[in-house]
Structure 1
Amino acid sequence: MTLNCAWLRQNLAYDCRPVRTVNGEPALEIGTPFSFADGTAIVFYLVEQGSHAIISDNGDTLTHLQSVGLDPFNRRRETAIRNILSPFGVALEASGEIRTLGPMGTSQHMVATYISSLLALANQERSWLGIPEPVNNFADEVEHYLRLWKPSEEAIRHPKVRGISRHEYTFDFSFGGELIDVVTPSHQATGGLMRKLGDVLSAPGERHRIRVVIDDRDDFERAETEKQIIGSMASAMLFSSLTKVANRQSVH
């Protein structure tokens, strides 16, 4: 198997261009739709070495953290970064490069888990900077796993739909023929969402298919309760369920 941009565009719809490493080796530079707290794009590189593939950020992530005032090289933060990356099978090298290595046949799964590791680190960056994690940051992760789950579908951000009241509502995505919203589990969020769903679903014309992804990473029981409520009006799924089906898809 020879790496090229075609399968990345087909399976994940990411930006991709051929480049050369500092050693002159052919590589792919992959731009994702995700970003760090200040809007810096998350980019990484895929290099073919014999029967294996290497994925690397070329040291860009730690350089970024340093540029926003977070010293990634002090012992405590460096340990934290290694602990964040480790569950994904991704390593922080002594050079500051974040990388992973695996057989060429697992490249698609490697890319998926590598992006997941950088998104986890981006979440931690927000915590270090004292920035509350917004729903939009969670939406980046949901989009990532939606693309893995159904790679042939296109994710369109922020589609607008009118309800029976003529009020215009914005959803997080249009994906696979569904309107998709992401929520954190709380009575307030669910209450507002249910009013929105009632208005949109009561509008004349074709009935919209709506899916809601609920963040269950911090409070599974609360998320499960809100899922039951939301499920009375729309397809509702926990974020953990989305990651499971997406990861099963990326392995095949």
Structure 2
Amino acid sequence: MATLPILVTGGTGTLGRHVVRHLFDRGVPVRVASRRPAPAGPQPHEWATVDYRSGAGLTAAVEGTSAVVHCATNMVRGEQELARTVLAAAKDADCPHVVYISIVGVDRHPLPYYRGKLAAERVVADSGVGWTVLRATQFHDLVYRILSALAGPPVLVLPKGVRVQPVDSGEVAARLAELATGSPCGRVPDLGGPEIRELADLARAYLDTFGRGRRIVNLPLAGRSYRAYREGLHLTPERSDGRVTFEEFLAQRR
């Protein structure tokens, strides 16, 4: 009997493309859900063009799958509404398992995007569909993009006293692929990067790697979100299971 495919929403994104690769490595057929039409030419996996805003095409994309790995994100419209649309499609298609990627600290941190992820977790848990939720710390990719943007001017200005615990998106994807091929298990242990580092320290590593001479200035900020970052509410020191360091990630980028 043929193995049913697993649908990956956001399957062409930073995380989703790694999930697709890891599922292939496990010999699992994959169906990629994307807002974009399928690329020209033969594809190694099934493709489903969907509209996450209206839900058009989502139920058909989920039908006949053994699980959905929900990696698509929408910072503008909101994580809660996006999750509601995907979970409604999963329920309509009788999908037995939805795996959702969330962020460490969403239940403690006041950042609006984090609150949206927490609300999305509740949508997943209350959907009536078998579910698994994995929380991870920030990806190396995100820290890299932030530092790349900030390093444009001669002075690189950073929020003072902020630490991060970046994790490799490929390692998170491997865990999601593992969870998707198993049974629903609710909230699973968090996944954190191997090191908790000062943001300024990571900035120096970035500048050294790419030979960019910039002076780093740390400025104190105000507000609840900044205070939460300073207090480390987005960190999980007891779950530093990641292996790839930020310097190793940068070496790959270089």
- Structure with bigger strand share is 1
TM-score, normalization by structure 2: 0.29
Calculate the TM-score normalised by the size of structure 1.
0.29
The structure with the greater share of residues assigned to helix is 1
Q: Which structure would you say has the larger RCO, counting Cα contacts within 8 Å and 6 or more residues apart?
A: 2
